[in-house]
Amino acid sequence: AILCGLEPRYNLADLLSAQRPISDILQPAPGPIQVLPGAGAGERLRHWHAASVGPICRQLEHLDSRTDIVVMDAGNRPTRLTRRFWRLADLILAVSRPDRSSVLSTYAAIKFMAENCNVGVIHLVVNFSPTPEEAGDVHRRLREACRRFLGIPLLGADHIPPDPSVTRAA
């Protein structure tokens, strides 16, 4: 929402607390997309409860009739809620940076999210990778760990080199 220049009136916290339906929260963004703004860093998502997840998931599934693609940024902290969203997904795209702590965090997130959940294949994008070779190394290490310890295939999607103009804009 921020990078699209939106000033949302409602956001994910309103959806999770069942105060607003998804139709009230979706906002038109530049181009033919709509954005469901995430909760701000200072907002608490602890007010959502397990009973609200089913209705939220049904609202997301009903978006199929109005959209071609739904992209959800589930953040970098695995939770029971994001695990539920993984179960709904047709395609899961994990994002990692090449640094060691990010690779370990990405593996930990995949491990948590895939627990007791048939996720199928996960795709990996390596962000802020200066070379395709470095991205390939990150993919190889994560692919081997996921195969060996989790029995999950991990496909390389691509890499995104650092872009100072995007960093400044963000």
3-state DSSP of the chain: CCCCCCCCCCCHHHHHCCCCCHHHHCEECCCCCEECCCCCCCCCCCCCCHHHHHHHHHHHHHHHHCCCCCCCCCCCCCCHHHHHHHHHCCCEEEEECCCHHHHHHHHHHHHHHHCCCCCCCEEEEEECCCCHHHHHHHHHHHHHHHHHHHCCCEEEEEEECCCHHHHHHC
- Region 72-77: mean pLDDT is 71
How far does Cα 59 stand from its chain's mean position? 18
Whether pLDDT at 63 is above 70: yes
- Compute the mean pLDDT over every residue in the chain, rounded to the nearest whole number: 82
pLDDT category at 47 given cuts 50, 70, 90 is low
Looking at per-residue pLDDT, the higher value among 128 and 1 belongs to: 128
pLDDT higher than 80, residue 98: yes
Q: Are strands 34-35 and 92-96 parallel, antiparallel or unpaired?
A: unpaired
Higher pLDDT, 44 or 89: 89
What pLDDT does residue 142 have? 96
pLDDT of residue 136: 95
Give the CA-trace dihedral at 38, 152, 109, 87, to 10 degrees: 40
